[in-house]
Amino acid sequence: MQLLRWAHRPADADDFLRTRILPLVRDPEFTARAVGFYASRQGRGEVSLTVYAHERDADALSAVISGRLAVPGPELGRPDDAILAGRLGWYRRVLQRVCEVSLDLLQTRVTDHDRQILRILRDPGELAFFPHHPPGETYRSLIEPWLRRSAPYNALDPEAYDEFWRRFTEWPGGPHRDHLSPAGHWLWNLLGVG
């Protein structure tokens, strides 16, 4: 598998995520070629899109993405990147689902009140606050009514729903072992709650 990354510092990160990234990852041309993806906010207003693709699809997919995002790229990831490890298939699935839900919520369904609730609950990736995280079920009981506003969340089948919450706060390799945060962290990240 090939890891491809695009990074951009748009004037408005929320708008870029809503108007460029979300339509792209829903486009059949993208979904037919990409194995998976995740989006994130980085420091200093940067937004990134990371895509996993089979070698045979990487060039065509790169052209589609660069054209749709109107940004140069991609930066090629290392073949030994931790996220590509075979044992982390579950993590890539849950991470993508969290990103799909978060991007959908960004369309207009996120209020200041919603963000305040997330600030109070705290990001499951914050080690300083949670040396031992509550289980995903705790988060589910508090934020699921809000997540039900998201079409991708409502489309989860029972097995995917169970995995979503069971793995929501799980560290893929350990909090001090690699750079991979719990998949649930990306809800806070993409919604700009910090």
Amino acid identity, position 63: A
Give percent of the chain above pLDDT 90. 66
Give percent of the chain above pLDDT 70. 93
Give pLDDT, residue 27.
95
Handedness of CA 140, 145, 149, 155 (dihedral sign): positive
Residues of the chain with CATH 3.30.70: 2-79
Fold classification of 2-79 is: Alpha-Beta Plaits (3.30.70)
- 7 vs 137, more confident: 7
Residue 176 has pLDDT above 80, yes or no: no
pLDDT tens profile 125-168: 776 556 666 788 888 988 998 899 999 999 999 999 999 999 99
Give pLDDT, residue 120.
83
Give pLDDT, residue 138.
86
Residue 175 has pLDDT above 80, yes or no: no
| Least confident span in 46-50, 53-57, 120-124 | 120-124
**pTM for this entry:** 0.93
Give pLDDT, residue 121.
82
Q: Per DSSP, which regions of the chain are E strands? A: 2-8, 34-41, 47-53, 75-76
Question: Does an H or E element contain 92, and which?
Answer: helix 89-106
Give pLDDT, residue 160.
96
pLDDT tens profile 19-53: 999 999 999 999 999 999 999 999 889 999 999 99
Give pLDDT, residue 133.
67
Mean pLDDT taken over the chain: 90
Distance CA 173, CA 170 (A): 9
